[in-house]
Amino acid sequence: MVYFIVRFLFIYKPSKSIIIASLLFCYAIEFSQLYKAPWINELRHTIFGKLVLGAGFLWSDLLCYTVGVGIGVLLDLYAIRKKTQTSF
């Protein structure tokens, strides 16, 4: 999802830049979960805070984000290839 949002916002940027930006955003959110200030913990107890900021840091989530962005890239490349084949 993050890959496609970044791709939508920066449609003319190279794929490499989109991949890096997507992964940096995802990793920043995950690493922000290590920050335990009272105000951000209170925010995390709301539905919006839990969905956006998450509840706790997991190393496995970094792998999941990487795989997710990879799947987004593959779907994007497939869609581009499909579009160029049907335009002839």
pLDDT digits (tens, 9 = 90+) for 12-68: 999 999 999 999 999 999 999 999 999 999 998 999 988 888 888 999 999 999 999
Dihedral angle over CA of 34, 32, 71, 63, nearest 10? -20
CA distance 49 to 33: 11
Report pLDDT for 87. Answer: 62
Contacts of 40 (CB under 8 A, 6+ apart): 32, 49, 53
Tell me: pLDDT of 73 over 90: yes
Query: For the chain, which residues make up each domain, given as ranges?
Result: 2-86
**If DSSP codes are grouped into helix, strand and coil, which group holds residue 37?**
coil
pTM to 2 decimals? 0.82
Residue 19 contacts residue 72 (beta carbons within 8 Å):
no
